[in-house]
Structure 1
Amino acid sequence: MKTITRASRRDFLKIAGTTAGGLFIGFNWFGCDSPKVEVLSTEEILAQAKSFNAYLSISPTGDVVIYSPNPELGQNIKTSFPMVVAEELDADWEKVRVVQANLDTEKYDRQLTGGSGAMPHSWERLRKAGATAKHVLVAAAAQTWNVSASEITVEKGIISHKGSGKSGHFGEFVELAATMQAPEEVALKDKNDFKIIGTPVKNVDAKEMYTGVPLYGLDFYREGMMHAMVQRAPFGMKIKSLDDAGARAVSGITDVITFGTSVAVVGNSTWPLMKAKKLLRVEYEPDGNVESTADHDRIFKELIANGKAEVRRKDGNVDAAFKSAAKIVTAEYQCPFLAHSPMEPENFFAHVQADRCELIGPTQTPDRARQAAADILGIPKENISVEITRLGGGFGRRLRADYVEEAVHISKAINAPVKVTWNREDELTGGAYRPAVRYKFEAALNESGEMVGYKLRGVGMNAGNSTRENNFPSGAVDNVLIESVNYESSITTNAWRAPITNFLAYAEQSFLDEVALEAGKDPVAFRLELLKRAKTNPVGELGYDVDRMISVVETARDKSNWGKDPNVKQGFSVYFSHRSYVAQVANIEMVSGTPTLKKITAVTDCGIVVNPTGANHQVRGGIVDGMGHAMYTNLTFENGMPKQRNFDSYRLVRLKEVPEIETHFVDSGFDPTGLGEPALPPTGGAIANAIFAATGRRLRSQPFIEQKEFSDIKLEIRRA
C-alpha cells in the first residue's frame, strides 16, 4: 500500500534555468514539507558542495549530490541517509555523491549524532525529498515527450516511455522540471518495491579512509595555524601555583597561557608541545570534593541502603506483595566509571577574529559547540561557523564541547588560529566518563513461582535517573517499585554508548536469571511468561512493544538451539533501548577442561534494515564493545585523578578475544529505529549468565576479570 504525503506549492522555489542548468531540491528538516526546486549550473552545484545546505541536487550530467547533515562517527548515517533519498528518487547509486553538511540550524533540525535517533527522525523527510524530485522530473519528461506521466517509468536514473521508445537520464530534464508546479500530493513507494534500501552498500567514505584522504579532525591543517595542548586539573582541584619556565624554554614553544583550571602550551607543532607539557610544574589545591574510588564504594553502600530516593514508578501494593511472598530474591550489582576511548582523541580548530569565529572539527553536537563559543566570546552565535569533519569515534564523548571551548579560549588569547590536540592520556584523564552505578534488585515469588513483586533502586554518580522505569519487566508484574538516587560527584560524567542501559541491562538480565533459578524455571521461558502476562494483562504504562520483544526472544531461542545441546552452556539476555529490540545468547563449551566462550548469537528488530552491511557492523561492534567493557575495563580514581592513564593499564578487548558472532534481523515491517547502541546493553548479561550456567559462579560487578568469583575460572575465548 502506498503512502500519500502532501506538499504545498509554496514549498517549491521555481527559478528559470539556462541550458547548463541543474535541478536543486531543498528540503526543510523541521517538518515534512516537500522539497524546493531551483536551477543551478554544474559549476554552481560543485561550488556548493562545500557549503551548507539541506538538499539533493541533480546536475545536467545526471549526477546526484546529497548533503548529509548529521555528524558521521561510524554509525554509517552518511551512507544510509543518501540510500533513502536515492531509493525514492530511483537514482543510479553509482551516480550519487555524498557531501558532509556544515552547521545550519535554520535549515536542519536535530543536526546531531546521539541516542541512535538520526534515522528514525529523518526517515520520512528523506523519502519525501527523493519522491518529490522524481515526481517533478517525470512531469518534465511527460511534457517533453507529450505523453502521460502515468505511462513513464524510472529506473537507475533513467526516465523511460515504453510506448514511444523514448528515454533519457535525469539531467536532460532538470531545466524544464525547475519550472514545473509542485504537486499537491506525492506518493511514497510501497516498501515491497525498494531496490536500494535493504541491499548491502559499502561506506561512501571507504575509499578515502583506506587511501588516507583527509577526513578526520586530526587530518585538518591550515597554513599558519598554531598548535596547542592542555594540562587539566584533577577533578575537584584548582591551580595553586604554576612554574612554566621549563616549558617556555623548549624550542618551538611560543606561549604558555592559563584559563580556568587549565594550562595550555602553544607552539608550531605537536612534538615540542608534548615535551613542554611534561615540563610544566603545576601545584593544585582542593576546590570542592576530591574523590577516590574508595570513597565511591562507601557512598554507594550508604545510598543504596538509606539514600533519599525519587520514586520513578509504583504499581500495585508492593509492601503487601513482599510481605506475603513465598520467596524473596535479592541481589546488588555495581559498575565502574568508564572512559569513551574513541580511536581519535579530542581535537578542534578555532579561529577567533574580532566579532567572528570559525570552528572546524569532530563534534556530535555542532550547535552546542557554536553556543559554547558564543558564550565565551560574547558574540551572536550567528557569527560563528562550524564545519564538521568525520569523527574517529565518539560514543557520547563528543556530545560535550569542552575541547571546543579550549580551542576558543586559546585562539582568543593568542589572537591567532589554533588547533588543540589531546593525546591518549588526556583522553583518559581529562574526559567525561560513564557514571559509576549500583543497583539493588528484589523480587517476590508466590507459591507457583510467579514474580508478583519487583523492586529496583539505582544509585548513580551524576547519572540523574539511573533507571528506565517503563522498560521490561515493568508492565509484566502487578506490584512494582522503582527508585533512583543521584550523587553529585566532582568527576564529570557524560552519556556513554547506550546511556544507563549499557549497565542496567546486564544487571537486570542477570537478576532475572537469578529469579528464574529460584522459581525453578528455564530463563527464556520465564521471560516469555512475563512478556505474555504484559500482553494479556498489562500493568501501568508499557515503554516497549510486547510483540516485538517476544519475537526477538523466540527467534534467538530458535536460532541458538537454546537448551538442545547438553555440552553447550548458554546464557540469555534481551533488551529494548533506542526504539529497538535485541536478544542475545552466549555459548560456553568445555575445551580440555576449560570453559570457553565460543559464540554469541544476536537477533535484532530495528525495523526496516536500510543497509544490511552497515546494520551487521553496528550489531557486531556493539557486541564487541559491550563484551570488552563488561569483562575487562575499569577506571579507578585516586585524589581526583584516574589511575589508568593509557592502554597499558586501561584494558580494552583484543581481537583474539572476540568469539564467533552470528547476527539475525527480524523483518518486522516497522520504519527504521535506532541501531548504533541497542546491541551493546544485552551482551554483558548474556555472557554473565552463560558463565553461571557453565561454572555456577554469579558475577554481580564489572569488570568480570577483577571479581573473585571469576579469578579461578580461567575462561577462554576462541574464534571460530
Structure 2
Amino acid sequence: MFDATATRAGPTRRTFLKAGAAVGGAFLLGFHLPSAMAANAETTVFAPNAFIRIDRQGKVTLIMPQVEMGQGIYTTVAMILAEELDAAFDQVVLEAAPPNDALYANPTFRIQVTGNSNSVRAFWLPLRKAGAAARALLVEASARIWQVDPATCRTDSGEVFHDASGRKASYAALVEHTAGLTAPADPPLKSTANFKLIGQSLKRLDTPDKVNGKVIYGIDAMPPGVTFATLAACPVFGGKVGHVDDSKAKSLPGVRQIVVLDDLVAVVGDHMWAARQGLEALKITWVEGPNAAVSSDDVWKQLRAASEKEGVTARSVGDATGALSKGELIEAAYELPFLAHATMEPMNCTVHLTADSCEIWVGSQVLSRAQAVAAKITGLPLEKITVHNLLIGGGFGRRLEVDHIDKAVRIAQQVAAPVKVVWTREEDIRHDVYRPVYRDRLSATLSGGRIVGWKHRITGSSIIARWLPPAFQKGIDIDAIDSAADIPYDIPNLSVDYVRDEPPAMPTGFWRGVGPNNNVFAIESFMDELARKAGKDPVAFRRDMLGKAPRLQAVLDLAAAKAGWGNPLPPRMGRGIALQTSFGSYIATVAEAEVDEAGEIRVRRIVSAVDTGIVVNPDTVVAQVQGGLIFGLTAALYGEITIDRGRVQQSNFHDYRMLRIDQTPAIEVHLIKSGEAPGGIGETGTTAAPPALGNAIFAATGVRLRRLPIDRSLLAGRKVG
C-alpha cells in the first residue's frame, strides 16, 4: 500500500463505455500506418505506428493523443507507452497529436477528446500494444542482424541484448534495419511483475518548463503580427446586438477595429489593454430576447415540478414499489446549483485566417471538433485548417466546448491579421456552459438495520443529448445517472429513474465530476440519514451492505482506520464518511469539520482511501485526489451561479469564491495496491468532498444539509452538546 500525506494542500461517467456500444460497439484504435511510414535505408526515423518515432540519435518521440491540463497525463501516458517499448525514459520527448480522429480518437468516445477521467483507462491497452509492437520490431531487426532467435533477445532502457553472445544494439542503431518488417497484431505484453516505470513516482515531464516559464499555454500564442481582441456577448443568453455607438472607443490609442456581429461585439487592438479599454468605451444596446425575465426562482420552480413526474427507468431490481409500501417510508430531496468552471486561464483562441487557410492556436479538450467548427464557419476543407493544440491552464470540462473557437474564427473573418481573442474573467463567468442544476428525490424503507426498498429519481439537464447524441438512448442520459444506476450497495429492491428537464436560458455542459456530483452527494447524504434512522454507526451501516463490493469495503475500512473513526472529538466537531464507485475507481473519504457558533465552517482534515487499480504514477494520483477534494470543497462551501432578469449575477472571484490557501485542510491520501486495470482519478475527489463534509457538519451540529452550497444561516446559533 502506498501512503502519501499533505499537511496543507494549498501549496461514471465510466458508463460512457456503454456509449461506445450504443454507437456501434467498442472502438479499438488501429495502430498500423501505411508502409511508407516505416523506416527504410533512406529514412532517419523509425515510425512503426501513430504514437512512436525513434530517430538515429536515440530520441524517442511520443505523439501524445491526450491533452495536458494539469492532470499529469503527459507523464502518465508517456510512462505507459515507454514501459512496453522499454525505452529509456530520460530520452523521451512529447509532441502533441494533430487533429485526427482516425489515428488519435479516444477509444471510449470515438473522437479525439480528453475528459471523463479516462485518459489512462482508455489508452491503457492500446498504448501498451503500440509500445510492445514497436519493441517486437526492434528485437526482430536485431535478431536478423545477429542471426539468432528473437526469443533469445531482451530489451532494456532503449537497447536490445543477446546475453548468450554478449551483443547489444541501441534502438537508434536499429532504426535503418526495420524497413520491411511487419509489426505483430497482438504482441505479448509485460507482466505487472516486470514493470520498471509503472508504479514509480516519476517527475512530471511538464513541470520544468512550467517552473521556468517556457511552457506555452493557449493564451501565450504569439504568431507574428498578432493583434488582440476581447468581446462582449449579450448579458442575456440568446440575446442579440441591437445598436453600437463606437465613437469614443475608436478614438482611444491602440484601438484598431470594432467588430460587430449579430450576437457579439469585439474590439481589436494593439494589445489587450487597448482592446479592453475600447470595449468598456462602447455603448451597446442589446435586444435581450425571450430569456430577459428568467430568474433562479423560475429555474428551481420548473425543476422541482419536473421532479414530481415519473421518469424513464434507468434500473429496476426486485419490487421497489412493493418494498416501499411496507414499513416507514423515509424520503429526502437534494439539490445542486449551477456552477461555473472559472478556469485559471480564461477562454481564449488565436486565429490567422487567409483566403485559403486557417491557422488556430488553442488549448482544447476536443481537438478534432475545434478543427471541424473552423471548417464549418470558413467553408475551408479540413486539411486547410491547422490547429496547434497547446497546454491548457484548467479545463474541468469547459474546454470540451468549442464556442470560444467559433467566436474567435468569426471575429478573425473580419480582421486582416492574426487575432488573439481573450475573454475577460467577467465574460468567462457570465457566458460559461454551466454544470446543470439537479434535484434528486430519494425514498427508502428499512428492516433489520438494512435498506430493503429504494427509489432514486434524478432530474436535470441532459448534456449527453447535446454533446454526444448517439449515446442518448430511450430518454436516458448515461452521465446523469452515473453512480446512481450502478449503486454498489446490496439493496434487494430498487428503482432508479431519470427525468430530463432543460433549464430556461442557461446552457449546460460537463463540469468536473458531472453526473456523479449530484448522485454521490444525494446517495451518501441519504445513507447517513438512513444510518441514523436505523440507530447504526454510519460506517457500520454502509459496510453491512457491501458484501458484493469487496474493493469498496476495503477502502471504507482503510479510510475509517486512518481517520480514527470513532475516536472522540471536541464539541462542535464531527466526522463524516462518503463512499463511491465513480470513473472506474473506488474511494472512501472521511471529512473532519468544526462549526463555530456563527455558523462558520472549518474543514480540519480529510482522509481518502483509493483503489484505482494499477497505479501508473502514485504521486500524480495523490495530487489529483488532493486537487479534486479542494475543488469539491470549494463547490460545497461557495459554489453557486444565480440568475436575475436573465443575467448571471456572478462576475469574478469576489462573488464566485475559491477555497483559499489558509482554508485548505490537511489531506491524506492512501492508495491500495491493486492488480486490476486502472480507473479514472481526476474527478473522484471532487465528487467525494461535498457529501463527506455535509455528513461531518451533521455530526458536529445535528443539522442536515440537503442543498449546496452550504447555507451557514442554518448553522448559526446552533447549540451543540
TM-score range, shorter chain: 0.7 to 0.9
Residue 497 of structure 1 corresponds to which residue in structure 2?
512
Deviations along 1:506-558, one digit per CA (max 9) or x if unpaired, are: 122111100111011221222222232xx3xxxxxxxxxx3332332233233
Residue 602 of structure 1 corresponds to which residue in structure 2?
608
Q: Which of 481, 484, 496 pairs up with 1:467?
A: 481
- Give the CA deviation at 1:656: 1.2
Contact 1:318 1:481 survives alignment (8 Å): no
Contact 1:607 1:671 survives alignment (8 Å): yes
Contact 2:231 2:266 survives alignment (8 Å): yes
1:516 aligns with 2:531: yes
Q: How does 1:354-503 map to 2 (within 5 A)?
A: 354-446=355-447, 448-461=448-461, 465=477, 466-468=480-482, 469-472=484-487, 476-503=491-518
Residue 244 of structure 1 corresponds to which residue in structure 2?
246
CA RMSD of aligned residues (A): 2.7
Give 5+ residue unaligned stretches, structure 1. 27-53, 536-545, 716-720
Deviations along 1:291-343, one digit per CA (max 9) or x if unpaired, are: 222322333333334x4643433444333323221x22222222221110111
Q: Which of 701, 705, 709 pairs up with 2:714?
A: 709
Residue 260 of structure 2 corresponds to which residue in structure 1?
258
1:559 aligns with 2:562: yes
Question: CA 1:6/1:100 → structure 2, altered by over 3 Å: closer, same or farther?
Answer: closer
Residue 87 of structure 1 corresponds to which residue in structure 2?
83
Q: Which of 633, 636, 652 pairs up with 2:658?
A: 652
Contact 1:14 1:180 survives alignment (8 Å): no
Question: CA 1:131/1:598 → structure 2, altered by over 3 Å: closer, same or farther?
Answer: same
- Give the CA deviation at 1:438: 2.0
When structure 1 is superposed on structure 2, of 10-19 and 359-368 the one drifting more is: 10-19
Secondary structure of the corresponding residue to residue 373 of structure 2:
helix
Residue 576 of structure 2 corresponds to which residue in structure 1?
571
- Give the CA deviation at 1:496: 0.3
1:9 and 1:500 map into 2 onto residues whose CA distance is 36
2:250 maps to a residue whose letter is: R
1:72 and 1:155 map into 2 onto residues whose CA distance is 28
Question: CA 1:243/1:527 → structure 2, altered by over 3 Å: closer, same or farther?
Answer: same
Contact 1:138 1:159 survives alignment (8 Å): yes
- Give the CA deviation at 1:345: 0.4
Secondary structure of the corresponding residue to residue 186 of structure 1:
coil
Give 5+ residue unaligned stretches, structure 2. 1-27, 107-111, 466-476
Residue 143 of structure 1 corresponds to which residue in structure 2?
144
Contact 2:575 2:699 survives alignment (8 Å): yes
Question: CA 1:95/1:273 → structure 2, altered by over 3 Å: closer, same or farther?
Answer: same
1:103 and 1:573 map into 2 onto residues whose CA distance is 40
Question: CA 1:707/1:484 → structure 2, altered by over 3 Å: closer, same or farther?
Answer: farther
2:634 and 2:298 map into 1 onto residues whose CA distance is 26
Deviations along 1:87-120, one digit per CA (max 9) or x if unpaired, are: 1121111111111122122322222111112222
1:396 and 1:572 map into 2 onto residues whose CA distance is 27
Residue 40 of structure 2 corresponds to which residue in structure 1?
17
Contact 1:691 1:697 survives alignment (8 Å): yes
When structure 1 is superposed on structure 2, of 310-319 and 169-178 the one drifting more is: 310-319
Q: Which of 526, 548, 551 pairs up with 1:548?
A: 551
Answer 1 or 2: higher relative contact order, Cα 8 Å, separation at least 6. 2
Residue 350 of structure 1 corresponds to which residue in structure 2?
351
Residue 320 of structure 2 corresponds to which residue in structure 1?
318
Secondary structure of the corresponding residue to residue 664 of structure 1:
strand
2:714 maps to a residue whose letter is: E
Question: CA 1:601/1:713 → structure 2, altered by over 3 Å: closer, same or farther?
Answer: farther
Q: Which of 587, 590, 606 pairs up with 1:585?
A: 590
Contact 2:579 2:688 survives alignment (8 Å): yes
Residue 167 of structure 1 corresponds to which residue in structure 2?
168
- Give the CA deviation at 1:182: 3.7
Residue 49 of structure 1 corresponds to which residue in structure 2?
none
Question: CA 1:243/1:23 → structure 2, altered by over 3 Å: closer, same or farther?
Answer: same
Secondary structure of the corresponding residue to residue 106 of structure 1:
helix
2:32 and 2:431 map into 1 onto residues whose CA distance is 52
Taking every aligned residue pair, what percent have the same amino acid on both sides? 34
Question: CA 1:193/1:404 → structure 2, altered by over 3 Å: closer, same or farther?
Answer: same
1:665 aligns with 2:671: yes
- Give the CA deviation at 1:358: 1.7
Question: CA 1:475/1:381 → structure 2, altered by over 3 Å: closer, same or farther?
Answer: farther
- Give the CA deviation at 1:562: 2.2
1:500 maps to a residue whose letter is: G
Question: CA 1:475/1:13 → structure 2, altered by over 3 Å: closer, same or farther?
Answer: farther
Deviations along 1:637-693, one digit per CA (max 9) or x if unpaired, are: 111222211111111101111111111122231121211112211111111111111
Contact 2:227 2:268 survives alignment (8 Å): yes
Contact 2:129 2:187 survives alignment (8 Å): yes
- Give the CA deviation at 1:10: 9.2
- Give the CA deviation at 1:73: 0.9
- Give the CA deviation at 1:9: 9.4
Question: CA 1:320/1:223 → structure 2, altered by over 3 Å: closer, same or farther?
Answer: same
Q: Which of 88, 96, 99 pairs up with 1:100?
A: 96
- Give the CA deviation at 1:406: 0.9
Residue 539 of structure 1 corresponds to which residue in structure 2?
none
When structure 1 is superposed on structure 2, of 117-126 and 174-183 the one drifting more is: 174-183
Secondary structure of the corresponding residue to residue 610 of structure 1:
coil
- TM-score, normalising length from structure 2? 0.87
Question: CA 1:416/1:479 → structure 2, altered by over 3 Å: closer, same or farther?
Answer: same
Secondary structure of the corresponding residue to residue 708 of structure 1:
helix
Secondary structure of the corresponding residue to residue 597 of structure 1:
strand
- Give the CA deviation at 1:199: 0.5
Secondary structure of the corresponding residue to residue 651 of structure 1:
coil
1:287 and 1:316 map into 2 onto residues whose CA distance is 49
1:8 and 1:103 map into 2 onto residues whose CA distance is 16
- Give the CA deviation at 1:142: 2.6
2:40 and 2:346 map into 1 onto residues whose CA distance is 47
- TM-score, normalising length from structure 1? 0.87
1:439 and 1:186 map into 2 onto residues whose CA distance is 47
Contact 2:595 2:701 survives alignment (8 Å): no
- Give the CA deviation at 1:391: 0.4
Provide the aligned length of Structure 1 versus Structure 2. Answer: 668
Contact 1:595 1:714 survives alignment (8 Å): no
- Give the CA deviation at 1:129: 1.6
Question: CA 1:78/1:481 → structure 2, altered by over 3 Å: closer, same or farther?
Answer: closer
- Give the CA deviation at 1:165: 2.6
2:575 and 2:538 map into 1 onto residues whose CA distance is 10
Question: CA 1:10/1:459 → structure 2, altered by over 3 Å: closer, same or farther?
Answer: closer
2:680 and 2:627 map into 1 onto residues whose CA distance is 14
1:197 and 1:434 map into 2 onto residues whose CA distance is 34
Contact 1:7 1:184 survives alignment (8 Å): no
1:61 and 1:258 map into 2 onto residues whose CA distance is 53
Question: CA 1:607/1:324 → structure 2, altered by over 3 Å: closer, same or farther?
Answer: same
1:670 and 1:333 map into 2 onto residues whose CA distance is 34
